[in-house]
Amino acid sequence: MIIQKVAGNLFTHAEELGSGFTFLGFEGKPAGYFIMFCFCGVAYIIAWSIMKSLVPKYKPIEIK
């Protein structure tokens, strides 16, 4: 819910500023989208790292 609110405010702000809003070569609304894609990509890597660190080592299952 928080991410959606922040993204909405970011896109509104980017639209209001138009070409005055730049990020890594993108201007206006595309810059806002690029920021959100970067955030989501980093969040995915962080979540994957946390999951890998919390899961114990797997051992092969032996059927007797």
Across 22-37, average pLDDT: 79
Beta-carbon contacts of residue 15 (< 8 Å; ≥ 6 apart): 28, 29, 32
Whether pTM exceeds 0.85: no
Q: Which two three-digit tokens encode residue 52?
A: 């890998």
- Per-residue pLDDT tens over the stretch 31-58: 778 888 888 899 999 999 998 888 877 7
Residue 23 has pLDDT above 80, yes or no: no
Residue 59 covered by a domain: no
pLDDT of residue 19: 75
Residue 60 covered by a domain: no
Question: Position 14: which residue type?
Answer: A
Residue 63 covered by a domain: no
pLDDT of residue 46: 94
Q: Which two three-digit tokens encode residue 10?
A: 């970011």
Q: How far apart are CA 19 and CA 1, in angstroms?
A: 28
Q: Can you give the residue range of the structural domain that contains 17?
A: 2-54
